[in-house]
Amino acid sequence: MENYKPSEALAKQAAETHFLEPVKKVDRFPTGLVHYVYDVRMAKNQIVVRMSTPENRHQLANGLYWLERLRPLGVPLPKVVFANLDVNVPYVLLERLNGSDLGNIYGDLTPSQKKDIAGIISNVQGLVAQLPQGSGFGFVSSYEKGFPHTSWAAVVDHHLRRSRIRIDSIGAVNSSYVDDIERISPKFQNYFDSIGPTPFLDDITTKNVIIDNGRFTGIVDVDQVCFGDPIFTIALTQMGLMSGGADLDYIEYWCDEINATEAQRSVLQFYAGLFCLDFMSEVGQAFNKDSTDIDWKWLSCLKSCHAQIMHHLR
């Protein structure tokens, strides 16, 4: 079968076909493991083009599914301009929100701006929680397609096993890092058992939270909703900040916003360790990138993060 792959040329073509206006500039956003996302500028319009390979067109459909359910609740997601999932390289044209990912400008934010953004994101998770509870746990593409796990503990175990498989497949990191986190997991079993299937956005972290001149403008890239413990998202955000050498003030503000308990603050560190393994396991994997080169400097940074997290957990 022919290899249909998204490209800047196809993003340009999609925009020009819809707007009947010449494209001046196309830039691919560097983040994301599945979709190819482009910033497309024309004289009168600026949009985002999300494209996928044919085997991942269902992911684009998932994003449209959740947009339709979350926007009416007040979740600040971009408007869909146009979608065509029935072509060789499926795509969605979206409103372009002003600004950049939180992680790109985090160092320029004042403490009060970080606190304000943490409050908004906490409120967003509250809006998402208005969706119906799940009949199971984990990352879900739609209510109709079912839930992958019967407990929150199973979601955690799945993350550990996936990281171990990926790490072992590349061999750049010793699996003892997985052992360290796995040994601590039973300590939180009672906590995991207490978690219900609450819907939350898992990837509104240092990316997908758009900030313009210190002010929140919206959220992008919601292809799934997770059901379980919303502390998961705070932990992934912490890991994103730690790996970039940033302060964790935003995490403290977020925890304060939700009145995090001692148990939640403790499990937050465990989840951060879980995501540190996720980051390690992605090194050397192709996903939607052109290179599988191992970034040894990045791995060294992640090993340092692991050590910091283990210090908190011991």
pLDDT tens digit sequence for 12-47: 999 999 999 999 999 998 766 678 999 999 999 999
127 versus 285: which is more confidently predicted?
127
What percent of the chain clears pLDDT 70, i.e. is strictly above it? 96
Residue-level pLDDT at 31: 66
Residue-level pLDDT at 289: 55
pTM for the model stands at: 0.91
d(CA 136, CA 133): 9
Residue 291 has pLDDT above 90, yes or no: no
As a whole number, mean pLDDT of residues 161-168 equals: 94
Residue-level pLDDT at 1: 36
pLDDT band of residue 172 (cuts 50, 70, 90) is confident
Q: What is the pLDDT of residues 191-202, one digit of tens each?
A: 999 999 999 999
As a whole number, mean pLDDT of residues 60-65 equals: 94
Residue 82 has pLDDT above 80, yes or no: yes
pLDDT band of residue 88 (cuts 50, 70, 90) is very high
